[in-house]
Structure formats: structure tokens, C-alpha cells
Amino acid sequence: MNQAYVIGLDYGTDSVRAMIANARTGEEMASSVFAYPRWRDGLFCDPSRNQFRQHPQDYVEGLEAAIKACLQQAGPTVRANVKAIAVDTTGSTPVAVNKNGTPLALTPGFENNPNAMFVLWKDHTSVKEAAEINQHALDFDVNYLQFVGGIYSSEWFWAKLLHVLRADTAVRGALYSWVEHCDWIPFLLTGGNNVHALKRGVCSAGHKALWSAEYNGLPPDVFFSSLDPLLKGFTDRLFKETYTADKPAGKLSAEWATRLGLNTDVVVSVGAFDCHMGAVGGQIEPYHLSKVMGTSTCDMMVVPLKDMEGKLVRGICGQVSGSIIPGMMGLEAGQSAFGDTYAWFKDLLLWPSEALLKTSSLISPELADKLSEELSGKIIPELSRQALALPLDEAGELGVDWLNGRRTPDANQLLKGAMTGLNLGTDAPRLFRAWVEATCFGAKAIVDRFNDENVPVKGLIGLGGVARRSPYIMQVMADVMNMPLRIHRSEQTCAAGAAMFAATAAGLYPKVEEAMHAMGQGFDQEYKPNAKAAALYAKRYQQYLDLGAILENKELPLAVEHKK
């Protein structure tokens, strides 16, 4: 194994990262990032309508460019000894495909049609369809939503499919099947040309598409066709079998071996969502909530299957056997906006420099660009520094973090964020502090739901860029949770986790847990709660819950009662 290397490919919201790792030690040999050019230019998106689409060509170009750049860095010895590739992606991010499994946006006539592209996880154009699914589920004796927390979300597979079918007759006529991003990339790499042969991961199928071993697959056709005749027959075009991410999807096709400069013996594993593989890259432990903190958060937990017998956790993003670690129950929760909240606030404050500096008569446009770039890089660190210096204030500005709706507990993408307690003394650092507190309160609501459902959270693990680069936010998180928060050493836990699955799929390890322990990089930071701050935040958290209840105003039911 000394001469065995694996590639982890991590598709994020803005870019794709490739990492080559030593399969014995987990040492990073090379990494490369490719920013999606069409996404960067804002093409095919309309934030005012919550429409966020990504062109498959961005993904294909990123796949080739990122891996080739890594191989160039690593050198010929590493290139000759690459054994496997594994892929993680955002999700639920599905796409309309033809019978060959080709996304419609890669076929003539659909190149610029957003409905023929991947519907990104944070696209909320299908709120209406999700509400219909939730109401429709009440008509059935079997609770088909029981393993996804009892509430179906507009961020997920079936709601997005129904919305696209209704919205676009041209796409409806050409669409044969509906495929998650994490399932399509391995299919592409292995030369797939028949969508019925595409191996679907249990991760995406169980958490977003209502697949369950309890139903021997997907819910029956009548569940969908009685919701809308446009869905009639779709279960036959989809899948019955699913696979854990430690299994091979196949081997690298001759075409992709040539394009990448690898050989056709390279194993490609079944795909999964970024945060599920990221939890493994961050060395998840049973009953420890692994918080992958990026634009949104995904909170992952693994629990022995025997401990989950008879337990259903309400209002989360599902509980699926094998979705994180094969042989254990994987549970997912999260927040629809986390880093996005801070990015939005930063952009709000930077509006004058972005909009007005270039028209200044005092400085050149080139200097204006440089000044704007400098401010952009400094503003969050400086806000954090000044917010930290503020005295704790039980009656200060109070926010609710639903700027992109609420994912968990109890999905409701119609909800909006809010800020209260403003006065003429409110300044940017105080507002920033309130938004940080709000995102941490939202995180605590998730922990409380697990605890209330008798699935205790015994520890916290922080993963990702926000966790590593934002000590102020992490300290507030530890204080709000009143629990220690360990930070994983790797900033790229999703790519690292993918590498671990690649090593397992290639047969270098018998179980992904062994790959995780051998290749994991460990923890190098820990935030411990401050008793005084924790006591104050306990009171502030109750205020947050009260304000959230006012905002929600019971406009939509948070849970559904079933006949059985």
C-alpha cells in the first residue's frame, strides 16, 4: 500500500476540489480547485425567485481540470499508482436525463434551458410541490415520510422533479429519468450509457428520494400518480436497488482514462453527498454530531442500528442505514443558511464600495477594484474582533436565522429571517454578533430535537472552512451549546472522506472505519464553553425560540398526523 494513492472529488456549491491522498497515511499529495465559470457569472440563476441551477458542463470541465491539475502536481509515480476515485456532491441536486443518462442540457436544443440543468440543493422553486407532497401523504395508511423526519422539503428529489415537469413542457417531453449529481458523476466516469444501469447511492436515495428497505424500494407508483398524473410510471424509470459508497460503481472508462491520463484499472466508487462523506473524513464517532459548516450546515450522526430500533426522529433530513458508515444508522439534519448568512451580511455592508467606488472622481477604477477586494477580505475578521469585544447583553439585538428558510428541525422553506431589538446605537458589529448568535441558536435547536427524541448528542465535531477560520463563531457555538466543540485538523474533510471511500472501494481496506482511522488527520482545536456566557445564552435562546414562534405564526403545520 506504500505505492497506493486515491482521489477524492468534492463538488461544492461554487467549485469542485480534487485531492490525491496516500491510501496508507491519508497524507495529501496534491489538491486543486476549479471554480464553475457559468455559476460564477450568475448564469441560469434568479435569486429573487430562489432559482439556483448549475450547468452540467461546469461539472464536466471541473472534473477534468481539477484531477489533471492534481496529477500534474503529484508527479508520474503517484499517477501510475492511483487505485480509485470517489465522488461526493451537494444534494439534493438532481437533473433531467434521457434514456442514455445524459443530462438534457448536454443535448441539442436544451443547452441554455435552466430546467434541463442540475437543480441545486438550495433551489426553492418547488415549495408548492413539497407542501402538496406533505398534504398528500396524509391520505395513505403507510407513512411514506417516516424516515425523512415526517416532512418533505422543497430542497429534495421528488418536489424538484414535479416542479420541473409542471413548469416546462419541452423538458417534460424529453425527460426520461431523474438523477442525483452524486450518482451521475460515477456513471459518467465509468462510461455509462443506459440510465437503468446507473448505480444509485443509498445516501441520496434514502435521505431525499423516499427509498427505504421497509418498502422494498421506493413508495408505490400510486403514491406519486395520485398526487399528479405527470408522475405516473416514474418509479419504473428510476431504481429499486441502492448501494453504499464503499462499493465500486465500476472502473474508469477508456475515454476518461485517456482524458485524465490514468488507466482503466482505476476503481470508481458509488457516490454520496458531500457532508456524509465529510463526516467520515472528519472521523465521526457514534452519538457525536459532526457539523459540516459551509454555506449551509449539514449535521451528521451515526448510531448503532440496534439502538435505533423503534425510534423515528421527527423533523430531520432522514435516518438511513448505511448512508454515512455502512452497518450503522446515518442521521442528517442541518441549517439552510450558515456561511451564507455571513456572506449576505458582508455583501450588504460592502454595497457602497461595490456600487460607488468605481464612479469616484478621486481614485482610478483599478484602485477602486483593489480597495473593494481588500475590504471584502478584511470585513468578517474585523467584525468578529469587534463583536468579541462587546459585553454580553441579554437584551441586545436578536435575530432568527431563516434567511433561506428552515431545513431542520421541521422543514419549512417559506419561513423568513428577522432581526429585532434595533435602536440608534445598533452598529455593524452588534448586528454581526446577533447573526452569529442566531445561526448558533439554530444549531442548538437541532441538538435539542435529537435529545428530545432520545437520540442523545454526546459530543460536537466541527468540520470545514468556517469551523477552522472563524474562532469567534466557534466559541459562540460552544457557549450556546454549553458543550465542548472539537475542530478537525483537515479543512477539506469532504474530499478526504471521499478518498477514504475510494480506498475502501478499491479493496485497500475491508471497512471504511479502518480507512477512516488510518487516513484521518485528527483534531487540533477545541472550544470549551464559558459558564457565564452559556448561562446568558440559555436565556437568549429562549428569546430566539419565542421570536421564531411569532414569525412562524403557525401558517403551515410543522408536523403531520397519519392514520397509522
CA distances to 47, 434, 462 from 470, rounded to whole Å, are 27, 15, 11
Residue type at 414?
Answer: L
Taking the C-alpha atoms of residue 84 and residue 186, their distance in angstroms, rounded to an integer, is 11
Domains and CATH numbers, the chain: 5-282+491-521 (3.30.420.40), 339-489+524-552 (3.30.420.40)
pLDDT of residue 554: 53
pLDDT of residue 354: 85
pLDDT of residue 65: 98
pLDDT tens, per residue, the chain with 564 residues: 679 999 999 999 999 999 999 999 999 999 999 999 999 999 999 998 999 999 999 999 999 999 999 999 999 999 999 999 999 999 999 999 999 999 999 999 999 999 999 999 999 999 999 999 999 999 999 999 999 999 999 999 999 999 999 999 999 999 999 999 999 999 999 999 999 999 999 999 999 999 999 999 999 999 999 999 999 999 999 999 999 999 999 999 999 999 999 999 999 999 999 999 999 999 999 999 999 998 899 999 999 999 999 999 999 999 999 999 999 999 999 999 999 999 999 999 999 888 888 888 899 989 988 999 999 999 999 999 999 999 999 999 999 999 999 999 998 988 999 999 999 999 999 999 999 999 999 999 999 999 999 999 999 999 988 999 999 999 999 999 999 999 999 989 999 999 999 999 999 999 999 999 999 999 999 999 999 999 999 999 999 999 999 999 854 444 444 443
Contact 292, 298 (CB under 8 A): yes
pLDDT of residue 553: 83
Taking the C-alpha atoms of residue 225 and residue 349, their distance in angstroms, rounded to an integer, is 48
pLDDT of residue 560: 40
pLDDT of residue 557: 43
DSSP state of 487: E
Contact 372, 357 (CB under 8 A): yes
* Cβ neighbour number for residue 401 with a 10 Å cutoff: 28
Q: Who contacts 418 (Cβ-Cβ below 8 Å, separation ≥6)?
A: 399, 400, 402, 547, 551
DSSP state of 98: -
